[in-house]
Chain A
Amino acid sequence: GAVVSQHPSWVICKSGTSVKIECRSLDFQATTMFWYRQFPKQSLMLMATSNEGSKATYEQGVEKDKFLINHASLTLSTLTVTSAHPEDSSFYICSASDRWGKTDTQYFGPGTRLTVL
């Protein structure tokens, strides 16, 4: 149980284009999903917390107009990197906790490696 998927697993795009990453909880309902960014050999940096049906809460320093997050259902959240630039290249990871966070555990997706040329 507690499986989280991400799609795509990797993406290469040209500078200026937008990229959408999907995060799905496959066998549980996720009221809360989280988006992280990880640079090589570094820890995870929380970008935003997304609650189903409401606006995402962004961490300080994260541009909300650049990283659009939508959590339209209890099993799906999307992260759209708008007008991507090479500095946006990174490993993006989502996680999900179950309805009302009862498990108090975040389960992570496999990550999406974004390369912007």
Chain B
Amino acid sequence: AQKVTQAQTEISVVEKEDVTLDCVYETRDTTYYLFWYKQPPSGELVFLIRRNSFDEQNEISGRYSWNFQKSTSSFNFTITASQVVDSAVYFCALRGIIQGAQKLVFGQGTRLTINP
């Protein structure tokens, strides 16, 4: 079975601090995709990144960076110099190729609050 665990239910930091959101996954598929989505208070899920299982290169996009480590089945997300607009619920998700076809398995989400 596929599973995504986001152990941090809520995180609260002061603006400009760096913050890392953890994501650990389980799958028997050898090929799979990992995703991060942001859900601001408006409710719409915003796609942030997709990572293939065979590409372990870390990625940086502005203040966002992602660390994919297959050995520990983790796909962590770091926001550098956080801003109030980063406040949202962040979901990590997994999509296997064989098991569940196109289904996305979501973690429980981490509610991030950036205080001014």
Contact = CB atoms under 8 A, between A and B. Distances in A.
Contact of A43 (B44, B102, B106): B106
Contact of A108 (B33, B44, B95): B44
Interface in A42-80: 42-44, 46, 49
Contact of B95 (A44, A93, A104): A104
A108 B103 contact: no
Interface stretch (B18-26, B35-43, B80-88): B35-43
Contacts of A97: 102
Given A44-B91, A91-B43, A109-B44, A104 B106 contact: no
A25 interface: no
Interface string B7-51: 000000000000000000000000001010100001111110010
A55 to B, nearest CB: 16
Interface of B: 33, 35, 37, 42-47, 50, 91, 95, 102-104, 106-109, 111
Interface of A: 2, 32, 34, 41-44, 46, 49, 91, 93, 95, 97, 101, 104-111, 113
19 contacts: A2-B47, A34-B104, A42-B109, A43-B106, A44-B45, A44-B91, A49-B103, A93-B45, A95-B45, A101-B102, A104-B33, A104-B50, A105-B47, A105-B50, A106-B104, A107-B47, A108-B37, A110-B44, A111-B43
